[in-house]
Each structure stands twice: as C-alpha cells, then as structure tokens.
Amino acid sequence: MPPASSSFTALNLPSTFSLPPCMDYFTLTAGPNTDLWRKPPNRDTATAPIVFTSLRNPFVVAEVTVTADCEMEWDQGGLVIFAGAAPQSFPPDSSVPRSSSSSSSSFSSQRPCKWVKAGMEFCSGVVNASSVSATADGADWCLSPLAVPDRGPAAVHSLRIKLERIGHSLWIWYQVPSAVPFAMSPGAVSSSWKKLREVTWFFYGVEDKFVHVGVYASRPHSLSRTGTMFGMMNGSAADGSADGLMVEFEDLEIL
C-alpha cells in the first residue's frame, strides 16, 4: 500500500506544491540546472526537487515506477536514500556544512551524509537505468542501457526501480514494465527484475532513525528551450514551465 503523504517533506519545490493524500500517483517537475551530485571533498549540489520521508523503522525495501519523456542530456528521475542527516538544499559547488562540535551523539557531526539515487536517466541518446552512490570521497556513476526486445531503446519511457536492504548492503534492481507481459505468472514477474548494482556497507554503522527515503526529478542541463530553434519556432510558456522535465511516479512503496 502506498504511504500517506503526511509523513513526507518537500525539498526544492514551490510553496504551492502539494502531494495527494495517498501517494499512488504524483508528479515532480524539475527545471533546468537542477541536480543532486557530490564532488570531493564533500561539495554538494542539491537543487533537484525531492520528496522524502524519515523512517521510524528499519529500512527494508522501496519501489516506484518512474515515467518521463526525456529530451535533454542527463534528464532523470527515481528513488533516493540518505544515510545521515536529513537532506537539505545546496546550490552548485556549495560545501557540505560540518559540525564544529566534538560531541559524538549526533550522526551528522561524525561524518557527512551519504546517499544513493537510482532511476531512469537519458544519456547519449539512450534511456538508461542509472545509479549514483555518494560518500565522503565523492560520487560514482553507473549506467545500464535499456531496450525493449524488437522495439529498441526509444520504446522505453517507464522504469520500475527497487532499493533493497540485504545485510549492510543496498541492492538496486530495475524492471522495464513494457517488457513484462501482463499474462506472466507471479514467479515469472519476479524473475524479470534485473540487478543494477550492489552498494556494499551502505548501512554499516547507520542508525535506523537516520535513514531518509524518497523520490527525485532532475534536469542538470542548463539549456533553456527559449534559446533553442524549437523554442523560437514553437514559443514557450510565459512561466518557463516548458523548460521543465515532468516525472511521473506510480505505486510508491516504502517498507
């Protein structure tokens, strides 16, 4: 059952933004130059629209179906999980604040927050299952091109992504909904999940109350449609909404 929206916090979203009571379907729109990234040493960009919840029980699994018409390089959306302090908004190239206190009672004062995002990303003309894992040393990037048999990569517009805790590790799985026939048995559907990667020791030394899970949308490219030939020929919305990437989220589950 999808979680109730009352337990979620919105980040980098307008004050008029609101979630439905039950989060079985909702959308996020990311404007140009919005991203979630980390460069060493601990320099974060956290301008992407994010909706997250802080867990009260040990994290087990999170799933969501992501749908978007990606057009620009690095357009993306998916699940994100933070281990440490709750996420905050950071402009590009800002330094992650560190506590000057010597107290060891706060997780955030001991080490910078680490996080993992995973979802669908458009890169080099192809839709990919993607993941970024950020630690105190920076962030890595993992891509796996997606394609529907006999239809090619252009046919992929949706991806179901899953984050699963196994021991101290975080496992990332994905499934292409359009490649899973409705007539398949539950066992066959289960076997259609593909492993994207394992982030070892992600949960090691992390208290359950310092785990935050949610979804994000991002359009890192700074190019605006108003400056393109498409924008000049077709016009753009006065409020700039045409420059944004709208990402749809369905059947969100967090346990």
Task: Count the Cβ atoms, other than its own, within 10 Å of residue 205.
Answer: 10
Q: Please list the helix, strand and coil fractions of the chain in percent, rounded to the nearest 5, in that order.
A: 15, 45, 40
The structural domains of the chain, ordered by start, are: 5-94+106-254 (2.60.120.200)
Structure tokens belonging to residue 67: 């749908």
Q: Each residue of 170-227: pLDDT tens digit?
A: 999 999 987 776 646 666 666 789 999 999 999 999 999 999 999 999 999 987 655 5
Distances (CA, A) of 165 to 59, 232, 254: 7, 48, 12
**pLDDT, one tens digit for every residue, the chain (255 residues):** 778 899 999 999 999 999 999 899 999 999 999 999 998 766 789 999 999 999 999 999 999 999 999 999 999 999 999 999 999 887 775 555 543 333 333 333 445 789 999 999 999 889 999 999 999 888 999 999 997 656 655 568 999 999 999 999 999 999 998 777 664 666 666 678 999 999 999 999 999 999 999 999 999 998 765 555 445 555 544 444 578 999 999 999 999
Scan for tokens 């970024």, then name that residue.
Answer: 132
User: Which spans in 157-235 are helix H?
Assistant: 186-191, 229-234
Q: Each residue of 102-116: pLDDT tens digit?
A: 333 333 344 578 999
Q: Please report how many Cα atoms fall inside a 13 Å half-sphere around the Cα of residue 66, on the Cβ side.
A: 37
CB 39 within 8 A of CB 53: no
